[in-house]
Structure 1
Amino acid sequence: MVREVLAFGDSLTWGVDPGTGRHPFADRWTSILESMDGDMRVIAEGLPGRTTCFDDHDGPADRNGASILPVLLASHSPLDTVIIMLGTNDLKPHLCGKAEGAAKGIERLVEIVVTFPYGHGRPPPNLLLVSPPHFRKPATPDGVLSGGRSIAESRKLAGLYAAIAARWGCGFFEAATVAEASLKDGIHLDAQNTRAVGAAISSLLGTH
């Protein structure tokens, strides 16, 4: 029986390549996840700039994750698993800038997944929270992260997300244990690292 998995995220899930623009389909972590399990279909719902729950009108699409998630839960139902990897854009100072704010947004998304009325007596899907890789100082002339984001704040996300997962009884994975941001921009992943995220998540889901 094929398992339906929704991967809900931002540019890290969309597959931004800091060198070329976007990774080929085969190098995106969602593609790796699907390829490693023949009984899994991964619905890749990544959008560059997406936040957990903050409005950001600096783009042509709605970037507020809490606004769009209920639509996706309904349109892709029934789902076996939802994977959420967000928070990097919440750390833009003009939106929030703090890991605590991103964590509150993540908890709101967890609440949406758990309480959504799926119908037909269906229980909520399994849920896996993924804290994104830490930012690091880019090897650029100014050495500054785009949007004024903070490396220190990015390092706080894992602990906060792990606590949320424990409260709600869902899964948690720290992507920084297998991947690090590219020196080209200090935020996004090269092909090797995005592949590593997909392989690690495959191992986790394969144990369920």
Structure 2
Amino acid sequence: MKTILAYGDSLTYGHDAAVFGRHAYEDRWPSVLEAGLGGVARVIAEGLGGRTTVFDDNAAAFDRNGARVLPTLLQTHAPLDLVIIFLGTNDLKLFINGTAFGAAMGVKRLVEIVRHHPYMPGFKVPEVVIVSPPLTVETDHKDLHPMFAPRADEAKLFSFYYGRIAKELGCGYFDAATVAKATPIDGVHLDAANTRAIGEGLVPVVKSILKI
């Protein structure tokens, strides 16, 4: 049985903007991916709303810095065969980073953390798949519009920078924007169908990487 860590933000958590709650377990993309792999792998979902790649966000009562939390999770869930890194949207907030390039550099650092973690003897270094986020869309949401709308053009650059980083580092790559689109309810999060589409789209990528 292979073990996969799905490391992400609210899109991995499965935030449901329509009810300000959470999508059903079977609709979240890590669950859909696991089902699509037909029982040969389990997918551990580690999604946290507001999580960034490597940047601090002290507006929350919990640690949103993905670089600081990742080593603990690598140790907690080891041994791992694959880590899927699906972060970056929250990096676009003006008070955090504001650029797709900065987010890509953050993802690069996360890959380095995965590859250089002091795993126990006999544990192999996991493979990595980088996922670039879906585009943000126009919304009249009172909080998320001012938070993300000024950087809508930056979101369009995710696929370019993330694809380049994945190639340079020899990682698997998947562009979530090719299968999923955010809901205009808040401009960032996904409805059930779109979050399922990401899990379905990742199935052949993961099968190829893990040779299953």
Query: What TM-score comes out, normalization by structure 2 length?
Result: 0.93
Paired position in structure 2 for 1:47: 48
Distance 1:148 1:108 in 2: 23
Aligned length: 206
Superposition pairs of residues 1-208 of structure 1, within 5 angstroms:
2-20=1-19, 21-37=21-37, 38-138=39-139, 140=140, 145-149=145-149, 150-207=151-208, 208=211
CA displacement at 1:146 relative to structure 2: 4.6
Distance 2:147 2:141 in 1: 16
Aligned-residue sequence identity (percent) comes to: 49
CA displacement at 1:143 relative to structure 2: 11
Paired residue secondary structure (2:131): strand
Change (3 A) 1:39 1:51: same
CA displacement at 1:109 relative to structure 2: 0.3
Structure with bigger helix share is 2
The code of the aligned residue for 2:33 comes to: L
Paired residue secondary structure (1:145): helix
Query: Could you list the runs of 5+ residues in structure 1 that have no partner in the other structure?
Result: none
CA displacement at 1:130 relative to structure 2: 0.1
Change (3 A) 1:144 1:188: closer
Distance 1:34 1:141 in 2: 33
Distance 2:141 2:8 in 1: 29
Query: Could you list the runs of 5+ residues in structure 2 that have no partner in the other structure?
Result: none
Query: What TM-score comes out, normalization by structure 1 length?
Result: 0.95
CA deviation string 1:39-76 (max 9, x = no partner): 11111000000000111111121000000000000110
CA displacement at 1:185 relative to structure 2: 1.1
